[in-house]
Amino acid sequence: MVDGALRRALPGRCAFCLEAAAPAAPWCSSCFSALPWNLAACPHCAEPLPEALAGEPCGHCLVAPPAFGRSRVPLRYEAEVAGMMRRFKFHASPRAGAVLLSLLEAGLPAEARGWPEAIVAVPLHPQRAQERGFDQAGWLARRLARRLGVPLVRAERHRDTPSQRGLDRDERQRNVRGVFRVGVPLPARVALLDDVMTTGATLNALALACRRAGAREVEAWAVARTPLLP
């Protein structure tokens, strides 16, 4: 009910500039076009790349491809997107969450929306979820699964790891190695969902757990991708 009310309320004024919004959208056409779209990106890990390398795998994925086959991350974590993500993640703003979810849907091609047979959100450890009081990836995943008409399967984070913030790529991979479990058999095609993707280390660890649970094809979905870490 709350989601429906938000979707009816959001159109009218652009969530970014407060000017008149496009029909049935929470943004105006100018702001939508000016958003930091992640168009030139590695197809495997969604790392932003120069325009000349659009569609090519990045150097990291050529050497060590992730456990998920491809990533779908339509935006870069910059400018207006970063600000809206902070309001959603740290202040639990339902308006910001609704806009970000709509942007994710807008950035998914039709074939992608019909691809997954299940959605798996990146889970928080129960202690971390209790401390924070808000699970942003779970919030997005519940609503996206309902809109796509596919089940949401819950994964378990059985070890509370230190924050990934400030860690380099290798440290992030070690930090989350083996921390996820999926306790039920999964269908063949699974989409993993997080709010922000940095190096893909967390999503890679979750993809490995999903493959152990029976998934044969795994994609990593997120709203935004941060700039490259060393």
* pLDDT tens, position by position, 144-161: 999 999 999 999 987 666
Which residue shows structure tokens 């059985």? 158
Q: What is the number of alpha carbons within 13 Å of residue 114 lying toward its C-beta?
A: 3
How do residues 30-46 score in pLDDT, each as one tens digit?
A: 999 999 999 999 999 99
Domains and CATH numbers, the chain: 41-78+111-225 (3.40.50)
The dihedral sign for the CA sequence 156, 187, 119, 212: positive
Separation of CA 133 from chain center? 19
* Total H helices, total E strands in the chain: 10, 8
Question: With contact defined as beta carbons under 8 Å apart, do 48 and 225 qualify?
Answer: yes
Confidence at residue 115, expressed as pLDDT on a 0 to 100 scale: 97
Token digits of residue 115:
């691809």
Q: Give the model's pLDDT for residue 166.
A: 57
CA dihedral defined by 82, 159, 220, 96, rounded to 10 degrees? -30
pTM attached to this predicted model:
0.87
